[in-house]
Amino acid sequence: MWLVLAAVLTFPAGYVNDSLCGECHRELAASYAHVGMSQSFSRPRASKVIEDFDAAPYFHAKSNQYFEMRKRGDDVVFRRYQLVDGKQVNVFEQIVDWILGSGHHSRTYLYATPNGELYQLPIAWYTQPRAWRMSPGYDRADHDGVTRRVRHECMFCHNAYAGVATLSESYWRPQMFPAELPQGIGCQRCHGPGARHSAIALTGNVEKTKSSIVNPAKLDVRRRMDVCYECHMQPAVALFGVRKFGRDINSFRPGQLLADYAPPINIAEKDRFEINHHPYRLEQSRCFRESAGKLTCLTCHDPHRRLAREQYRAACLSCHEKAHRANEDCIPCHMPQRRTQDVVHVVMTDHLIQRKPEANLLAPLEERESQVSGVHFLYGGDDPLLLLLPLVRAHGGASADEVNRLAQLLAEAKPKEIEPYLDLCAGLLRQKRYADLEKTAQLVLDRSPNHPIALEWLGIARTALTGNRSEAIRLIQQSLRVDPTRAEGEFNLGVFLAGDGRTRDAIAHYQRALALRPNFVAAWLRLAEAQRKLGDANAIESEKRARAIKN
Q: Are 62 and 41 in contact (CB under 8 A)?
A: no
Nearest to 548 by CA among 521, 514, 527: 521
Nearest to 519 by CA among 133, 53, 110: 110
CA atoms within 13 A on the CB side of 501: 1
Q: What angle do the packed helices 400-413 and 419-430 form, to 10 degrees?
A: 150
Q: Are 88 and 69 in contact (CB under 8 A)?
A: no
Give the alpha-carbon dihedral of 216, 217, 222, 227, to 10 degrees.
30
* C-beta neighbour count of 436 within 10 angstroms: 17
Residue 382's pLDDT is 83
Q: Between vectors from CA 455 to CA 452 and to CA 458, what angle results, nearest 5°? A: 150
Q: Spell out, as residue ranges, where the chain has pLDDT lower than 70.
A: 1-7, 322-326, 395-398
Residue 323's pLDDT is 63
Q: DSSP 3-state assignment of 80?
A: strand
Fold of 379-550: 1.25.40
Residue 86's pLDDT is 94
Angstrom distance (rounded) from CA 82 to CA 80 = 7
Query: Looking at this protein, which amino acid is placed at residue 389?
Result: L
Residue 428: exposed, middle, or buried by beta-carbon count in 10 A (0-12, 13-18, 19+)? buried
Query: What are the tens digits of pLDDT across the range 313-343?
Result: 888 888 887 666 667 788 888 999 999 999 9
DSSP 335-391: S-EEE-SSSTT-EEE--S--SSPPS-TTS----------S-EETT----HHHHHHHH
Instruction: Give start-end residues of each CATH 1.25.40.10 domain in the chain.
Output: 379-550
Angstrom distance (rounded) from CA 152 to CA 192 = 19
Residue 332's pLDDT is 87
Residue 1's pLDDT is 30
Q: Which secondary structure element, helix H or strand E, spans residue 249, and what is its range?
A: none
Angstrom distance (rounded) from CA 50 to CA 309 = 24
Give the alpha-carbon dihedral of 404, 408, 413, 415, to 10 degrees.
40
Angstrom distance (rounded) from CA 181 to CA 12 = 12
Angstrom distance (rounded) from CA 210 to CA 428 = 52
- If DSSP states are collapsed to H, E and C, what string results for 481-548? HHCCCCHHHHHHHHHHHHHCCCHHHHHHHHHHHHHHCCCCHHHHHHHHHHHHHCCCCHHHHHHHHHHH
Angstrom distance (rounded) from CA 409 to CA 432 = 20
Report the residue count for the chain.
Answer: 551
C-alpha distances in Å from residue 173, one per residue of 164, 176, 248: 10, 9, 9
Nearest to 95 by CA among 56, 50, 44, 42: 44
Residue 212's pLDDT is 95
Q: Are 100 and 82 in contact (CB under 8 A)?
A: no
E-state strands within 33-96:
41-42, 58-60, 65-72, 75-84, 87-95
Nearest to 159 by CA among 178, 184, 176: 184
Backbone φ and ψ for 67, nearest 5 degrees, come out as: -130, 140
* C-beta neighbour count of 388 within 10 angstroms: 20
Angstrom distance (rounded) from CA 408 to CA 230 = 30
Q: Are 456 and 489 in contact (CB under 8 A)?
A: yes
CB neighbour list of residue 406: distance below 8 Å, 6 or more residues apart: 385, 388, 389, 392, 420, 423, 424, 427
C-alpha distances in Å from residue 59, one per residue of 65, 343, 547: 6, 18, 19
**Residue 337's beta-bridge partner residues?**
349
